[in-house]
Amino acid sequence: MEFFFQLLINGLSIGFLYGISAMGFVMIYKSSSVLNFAHGELLAMGAYIFLALLIWFKIPVIPAFVVTLAVCFSFGFLVERVFLRPLIGEPLIFVIMLTIGLASMLKGAILLLWGGNLYTYPDFIPHFLTIHLGGIDIQPVYNVSFLLGIGFLLIFGLFFKYTSQGIFMRSVADNQRAALSLGVHVRKIFALSWAIAALVAGMSGVILGVLNGINVHELSALGLKVFPVVILGGLDSIAGAIVGGVIIGLLESFTGGYLSPSLRDVVPYIILVCILMVKPYGLFGQVEIERV
């Protein structure tokens, strides 16, 4: 039973991280219907920038985290400006191909700079955050990631609901043309959503790095695991991303624990294919079935 609870908690926390990293992906999809294949590399970038700030520049943890988020934010902005803006109005297939190219480029650049080794952050999370729960220790990392995740979810929930920029973003997602005619600056909103998505990706990259160590191959593979999560949760639903992430995380953890560890990494993709067959718009996605 203890094993079961360990797996449960492990799955929940990993799933939560999947959910957080999928949030950035969903945000881009919602506002510009682009499938971002470079998401994993954005995660990796956040993790490596934080690492560089901590180890190379010896900046204390909290300022380093803030600087990382700022760099990721501006990077997202830059990516939109340089690579994606020229493609507004082009067929979607080019945009998706571009993110594939971008992924390859970023991964190559990170590998050139840091190599493919596994890095770990210096230990900085206070130990009093460890929770003892009937004989099981919940690592402080998990608690911190949970708190951060909840915090960001709240912030984004409020952002989308009440701020003008958030409302603009929702309007662009809903209907670009109508938003344009009502005076929403659509290009600015695109840039903003890429920037915010990169920021979220950077943050989850840091958390993943704390959790598993930093390795560009693993992080970019994780970026691809976003697809099962968002297909399960619904491509355009942020809450769905979290729920989908938790479900996928739990399934992964139990498969790894009870069936076989090697099956663990494939299970999400098997689920993905099944979901596409049965319920292609996911649990919370907007149903606009149009079989052409």
Partner 1 sequence: MKMRKWNFRLCGNYHESYSEELTIFETYFGRFWLLVGAIFMLVFVPLVSSSYALYIITNIIIYAIAVIGLNVLTGFTGQISLGHGAFFGVGAYTAAIVAARFGSPFIFSVLAGGVVTAMVGLVFGLPSSRLKGLYLAIATLAGQFIIEYVLVHWESLTMGTMGITLPRATILGWELNEDRKFYLVALVFFFLFLWMAVNIMRTKYGRAFIAIRDNDRAAEGMGIPIFPYKLLSFALSSFYAGVAGALWAYFTVTITSEPFNLGLSVEFIAMVIIGGMGNMSGAIFGTVFISLLNEGLRFMADMLINARIFTQTALTMAPLKEFVFGLAIVLFILFEPRGLAEVWRIVRSNFRLWPFSY
Q: Which residues bind partner 1 (CB under 8 A)?
A: 35, 83, 86-87, 90-94, 96-98, 100-112, 115-116, 224, 227-228, 231, 262-263, 265-266, 269-270, 272-273, 276-277, 280, 289-292
Q: What's the CA gap between 267 and 241, in Å, rounded?
A: 17
Could you tell me the smallest distance in angstroms from the CB atom of residue 107 to partner 1? 6
Handedness of CA 201, 207, 212, 214 (dihedral sign): positive
**Nearer to partner 1 (CB atom), residue 14 or residue 226:** 226
**Nearer to partner 1 (CB atom), residue 210 or residue 231:** 231
Quickly list H helices, 33-128.
Answer: 39-51, 61-79, 92-114
**Site of tokens 């993110």:** 99
Could you tell me the smallest distance in angstroms from the CB atom of residue 116 to partner 1? 8
**Nearer to partner 1 (CB atom), residue 243 or residue 272:** 272
**Nearer to partner 1 (CB atom), residue 149 or residue 285:** 285
Do 101 and 211 form a contact (C-beta atoms < 8 A)? no
Could you tell me the smallest distance in angstroms from the CB atom of residue 257 to partner 1? 18
**Nearer to partner 1 (CB atom), residue 92 or residue 182:** 92
Do 51 and 214 form a contact (C-beta atoms < 8 A)? yes
* Rounded alpha-carbon distances, angstroms, from residue 88 to 48, 74, 186, 194: 30, 20, 11, 14
Q: Tally Cβ neighbours within 10 Å of residue 272.
A: 18
Could you tell me the smallest distance in angstroms from the CB atom of residue 51 to partner 1? 17
